[in-house]
Amino acid sequence: MKKKFGVLLLSFILVFSLASIVGAQEVKKEDTFTYVTIGNQNTLDPHFSYDTGSAEIIYNVYENLIAYQGETVTEFVPLLATEVPSEDNGLIKDDGTTYVFPIREGVEFSNGNPLTPEDVKYSILRGMINDRSGGPIWMLYEPLLGLGSLQGLVTEVIGEDVSPADLSAEQSAEVFAELEKVVEVDGNNVVFHLQEGPYPPFLNILAQGASWGSIIDKEWSIEQGAWDGSPETIADYYDPAKENDPLYAKMMGTGPFMLTEWVNGDHVYLKRNDNYWRKPANFKTVVFKNIDEFSTRKLLLQRGDADMVYVPNQFLSQVEEMDGVTVTKGIPAQQNLSGIMNWEIAIKGNDSVGSGQLDGKGIPSKFFADKDVRMGFINAFNFKAFIEDVRLGNAYQSGGPIVRPLLGTSPDQPVYHQDLEAAEEHFKKAFGGEVWEKGFQLTLLYNTGNTARQAACDILKTYVEGINPKFKIDVRGVQWSSFLDTLLQGKFTIGFIGWLGDFPDPHNWVTPYLASDGTFGGWKGEAYAEWATEHTDPLIAEGIKTVNPKDREEIYKELQTLALEEGTDLWMDQPTGHNVRRDWVKGWYPNAMRPGLDAYILDKK
């Protein structure tokens, strides 16, 4: 009896699974697009989002005033605005401090609410009030007010020691009056007033792909519990915890798709917005599936279950030969990798510096403040092997902090080369010969799972140790948490880390790396800050205030040369991007500022 039941059950399972196997082969639906990628989405709130995972979903649901044209990152087309402002059409005025956007009429959000200039104004102000800690909104404050954050504005208007979260209603209104000066509704136009002079990359900051420039529905947002539009309530809506953010998991945009379901870490489903103001999209359903295992993604692609997958650079060779798969390589992505050299290492309680002295068993705090030490390390690094073997040739070598094709770079720019003799010369001169005589010992850390950074550490170790047997380098992998911790506390020696461009302008590259208070520069201690205040800070400030592209180019070239010749850091490379998709995906073209998939431009017919 039991046996019979078992046999029955087994054959039942078998029949059904076989039936579904046969059934599955025919399911290659033309109206569903499946993109399989890694990671997850931090949030779906465009003003909170500062990661590519979130930005890619927001890109397909929300729209900005303007968008990039085709493959370029410098030319624009109108989107929710009807014209791209320029000096020529008179919509950029007052020496580049006033931007006028005529708003498109007849556009509706996917709930049927019409788009109005008021929505645009609300979107910008809501973002600036929301201004979450660690978020992207500094990109609105910097051009519009010349400040870094809402906290900065409150300090200026009310005084120090007041947090925006503690503002009373009157104080809030006072701060809001300043905020409101930057964006104004004028008939059917929205006008931006840059308070602190021109800011050349302002259009980039607002273009599609920048989620912080997304236009949200005022009425709907207030219904959900986002900022109520009142001047007096800043304190209630400033820097929300993610779980209390009303737009965390809800979306309402004007874009070609609408959100149906989001299970963080697993998938996002979008469906077509049939009421879209342009021609409706070709796909009824768009699926973003997160699968961290590369082998699984590869199989999904191979079997045609996925239309497009994310492939890490090192595994590209595994999909290039696949039948029915198209691979596009060499997209100049806005990212780089560099070895940040710590000019003044925090010695206390630091196990990366050995004894903390120049006695052959460690390194002193200001080890990398000596230019000869830096040049010794730089000349010892095998750049060719790194780009050819680790990147498999899919990278440009960097000539400083700025990436191609931005101002200040060129395909034939000077770069570093491995020169072991020069390295030896520099090490012999460093610290008046003491380094060469006594030797040193230090630890290089990388965050585990990042094979490129690990290889960079291993390469540096191999060649530097080969120069003098008294040089000793330990390479150690640590988790992201520990890695971040050593960087923040200035305990690293050389930290291999990359920057991902926020907007395609050299200003976004020289600031984090070279400014005395830059994101990375700020980790390198007083020794670096002193040097940078004198050499790089004035140039960076001049660069962003200069409107003429020719003059700007000269300034950034100078910064690039300065960084390279002084060897402030180990300038390594700019890995190029790529895209892997099935042959039946039509209409795809690259754009370096697109956060990921743009399902609207694609077709499977």
Partner 1 sequence: MEWQEVLLKLIKNKISLFGIGIIIFFVIISISAPWLAPPADPDDPYMIPRAGWSIQPKPPSEDHIFGTSEGQYDIFYGIIWGARTAFRVGLIVVGISTLIGILIGTIAGFYGGVIDEILMRITDVFLSMPFLVAAIVLTTILGKGLDNVMIALVTFGWMGTARLMRSQVLEIKAEEFIQAAEALGANDIRIIMKHVILNTIFPVVINASMRMGSIVITASSLSFLGVGAPTGYADWGQMISFSRNWILGSQGNALQFWYTVLIPGLAITFFCLSWNLVGDAFRDILDPKLQN
Partner 2 sequence: MMSYIARRLLILPVILFGVSLLVFSMLMLIGPYKRLSTYIKSPAELKTANLDTLVDKYGLNDPFYVQYSRWIKGVLQGDFGWSETAGQPVSKAILSRFPATLELALLALIPVIMGGINLGVFSAVHHNDPWDHITRVFSIVGWSIPTFVFGLVVLMIFYGVLGWFPPGRLSVWAEDIIRSGEFIQYTHLNVIDGLLNGNLRVVGDALRHLIAPVISISILWWAYILRITRSSMLETLRKDYIRTARSKGVKEKLVIKKHARKNALIPVVTVAGFMVLGLLGGLVITETIFGYQGLGKFFASAASQLDYAAVLGLALYFGFLLIIINLCVDVSYAIIDPRIRLE
Amino acid occupying residue 38 = I
450-509: contacts with partner 2 (CB under 8 A)? 479-482, 484-485, 487-489, 497-500, 502
| Contact partners, residue 548, CB within 8 Å, separation at least 6 | none
Which residue number, 249 or 415, has a Cβ lying nearer to partner 2? 249
**Under rule CB under 8 A, residue 50 binds partner 2:** yes
421 is a site residue for partner 1 (CB under 8 A): no
The four Cα atoms 326, 331, 334, 338 give a dihedral, to 10 degrees, of: 100
Residue 459 interacts, among partner 1, partner 2, none and using kind-specific CB cut-offs from 5 to 8 Å, with partner 1
Among 588, 70, 596, smallest CA distance to 282 is for 588
Closest C-alpha to 601, from 227, 69, 44 = 69
Of residues 233-252, which lie at the interface with partner 2 (CB under 8 A)? 241-243, 248-249
DSSP state of 431: G
Radius of gyration, alpha carbons of the chain: 27
Residue 155 contact partner, candidates partner 1, partner 2, none, CB within 5 to 8 A by sort of partner: none
- Which of 6, 70, 466, 538 touches partner 2 by CB under 8 A? 6
Element of type H or E holding 577: strand 577-582
Binding-site partner at residue 448 among partner 2, partner 1, none, CB < 5 to 8 Å by type:
partner 1
- Among 216-224, 309-317, 505-513, 543-551, the segment contacting partner 1 (CB under 8 A): 309-317
C-alpha dist (Å) from residue 128 to 99, 150, 203, 323: 18, 7, 17, 49
Quote the CA–CA distance of 601 and 589 in Å, as a whole number: 9
Neighbours of 37 (CB within 10 A): 21
By CB under 8 A, residue 548 contacts partner 2: no
How far from each other are the two terminal CA atoms of the chain, in whole angstroms? 53
Other C-beta atoms lying within 10 Å of the C-beta of residue 419: 15
How far is the C-alpha of 25 from the C-alpha of 304, rounded, in Å?
Answer: 10
Q: Which CB atom, from 316 or from 547, has the smaller least distance to partner 1? A: 316
* Residue 133 DSSP label: T
Q: Does 467 bind partner 1 (CB under 8 A)?
A: no
* Near partner 1 by CB under 8 A: residue from 389, 437, 485, 534: 389
Contact between 400 and 557 under an 8 Å Cβ cutoff? The reply is no
By CB under 8 A, tell whether 489 contacts partner 1. no
Query: Which tokens go with 277?
Result: 């103001």
Residue 323 in contact with partner 1, rule: CB under 8 A: yes
Q: How far is the CB of 292 from partner 2 (least distance, A)?
A: 8
Select from partner 1, partner 2, none the partner in contact with residue 533, using the beta carbon and a kind-dependent cut-off of 5 to 8 Å.
Answer: none
Residues 260-299 that bind partner 2 (CB under 8 A): 260-261, 263-266, 269, 285, 287, 289, 291-293, 295-296, 299
Q: How far is the CB of 308 from partner 1 (least distance, A)?
A: 17
458 binds, among partner 1, partner 2, none (CB under 5 to 8 A by kind): partner 1
Contact between 561 and partner 2 per CB under 8 A = no
Among partner 2, partner 1, none, the one that 361 touches (CB under a kind-dependent 5 to 8 A) is none
The two three-digit tokens of residue 202, written as one number: 């302002």
Work out whether 482 is an interface residue with partner 1 (CB under 8 A).
yes
Shortest Cβ 272–partner 2 spacing (Å): 13
Q: Count of alpha carbons within 13 Å of 139, Cβ hemisphere only?
A: 26
405 preceded by a cis bond (ω within 30 of 0)? yes
| Relative orientation angle of helices 150-157 and 169-180, to the nearest 10 degrees | 110
Q: Which is nearer to partner 2, 480 or 589 (CB)?
A: 480
Give me the least distance between CB of 591 and partner 2, in Å please: 20
- Footprint (CB under 8 A) of partner 2, residues 131-190: 133-138, 148-149
318 is an interface residue for partner 1 by CB under 8 A: yes
Question: How far is residue 372's CA from residue 427's CA, in Å, rounded to a whole number?
Answer: 6
Q: Which is nearer to partner 2, 113 or 448 (CB)?
A: 448
Q: Are 260 and 268 spatial neighbours (Cβ–Cβ below 8 Å)?
A: no
Residue 107: CB partners within 8 Å, gap ≥ 6? 80, 114, 115, 254, 277
Smallest distance from partner 2 to CB 223, Å: 22
Which of partner 2, partner 1, none interacts with 28 (beta carbon under 5 to 8 A by kind)?
A: none
Task: Write the interaction track for partner 2 spanning residues 506-525; mark x where CB under 8 A is met and - where it is not.
Answer: ------x------xx-----
64 binds partner 1 (CB under 8 A): no
Q: Which residue intervals of 72-137 are DSSP H helices?
A: 117-130
**Helix pair 420-429, 451-467: axis angle to 10 deg:** 70
How many residues touch partner 2 (CB under 8 A)?
70
Neighbouring C-alpha atoms within 13 Å toward the C-beta of 536: 29
Residue reference for tokens 């988790």: 479
Here the tokens at position 367 are: 């080890």
Q: Quick check: 20 binds partner 2 (CB under 8 A)?
A: yes
**In the complex, which residues of this chain contact partner 2 (CB under 8 A)?**
6, 9, 13, 16-17, 19-21, 23-24, 27, 29, 32, 34, 40-43, 50-51, 133-138, 148-149, 241-243, 248-249, 260-261, 263-266, 269, 285, 287, 289, 291-293, 295-296, 299-300, 302-303, 305, 479-482, 484-485, 487-489, 497-500, 502, 512, 519-520
**In the complex, which residues of this chain contact partner 1 (CB under 8 A)?**
293-295, 298-299, 302, 314-315, 317-318, 321-323, 385-386, 389-390, 392, 448-449, 451, 454-455, 458-459, 476-479, 482
